A and B are shown apart, each in its own frame.
Chain A
Amino acid sequence: MTAGIKEFPGTSLKESDFEEGNVLFTTWTPKAEYAWDAGVAIGRYLAELKEGRIIGVRCRHCRRTVVPPRNFCEWCFRPMDDWIALSDTGTINTFSLCYVTWDMKRVEEPEISAVIDIDGTKPPVGIMHLLGEVEPDDVKIGMKVKAVWKPPEEREGAITDIKYFKPISNI
């Protein structure tokens, strides 16, 4: 739509115009703090992570157990029926070797992110996390892994209370 426009209206400014005082300006930094209410389901999920446990919820109607917990079954739209204690082991569903950080900086040693189907979910449902104590070349889909937790005093009720998942054969 703008392809035919050669000159846009307005006054273009460069960073140097601000630095050299060619233009008057004011700056404003709003205090954009927020608190996102985790709600009943995720709230308890995070609280249990702090205790070193992974929990899910079950829908009896659909006969499925899912993680992370949610209030409603998105298959049948009924409220979920039960809280289910899951184990902190699982199976690698898929994984990726990541050679850049979140802000696009190159890293030599890749971070290995993976979707891990948590044991006890039915049909298998995964959560995304990191893999550790494993060489990138050795990671295989279907590999059994176990959560490595932070020490209890360092946990804060976050998914990062699990440091990473490591292959069970290494235990």
Chain B
Amino acid sequence: MASIDEGGGGGGGHKKGAGVKKAKKLSTRVDMTPMVDLGFLLITFFIFTTTMSSPTTMQLYMPKDTKDEDLNKAKESGALTIMLGKNNVVYVYRGQLLPDASNLHTTTFKGVRDTIIQMKKDVINAHVHDAGCTKIQEEARVGNPNVKPPILPDPNWKNACLDKDLVIVIKPDEEATYKNTIDILDEMAISAIKRYAMVDLFPIEKDLIKKIESGN
């Protein structure tokens, strides 16, 4: 295919004919071009079929459907509710939703990280030390080598319980996609949120989202 025929290389044989009788020195050289062609064809095939990035798994723990004590006990000042709407829009509010919905903010998946970080900062600033806190600090200071993967002793163990009042409530709307849900759970991992829960929307919130979405 791509080789150029020439007489060199120790006795080429392009003068074939009935009249040629003398024995020629035959080349021991093999034309490798087709082999290379085939090789690269196969390489291309395998490159296309190979999936290099192997899938990973993400842990999710769901609460039992009984009344969630933990959630009810959450301090209002430390609660952040994230609602996922249509078209990757995110609605957030702190504490309780006000009747006039003035504390409801609309953001995106890019902006929600800053909201979470800001919330975390505010909760840490408002933190008051108590007995339960000492226990959490001690656990962080020692770590836990017995679990897999082992929890390393935290050099910043003094800060371990500062965000213990922070609870994030995730409420995906019916129009939210699975990707949205995973993304927001991922944000919890990214910002190291220890307490979060995924629950259903209240009817009032559902109506509110609908109203906002139809208004746009």
Is chain B found bound to chain A in the same assembly? no
B residues sitting closer than 8 Å to A (CB atoms) are none
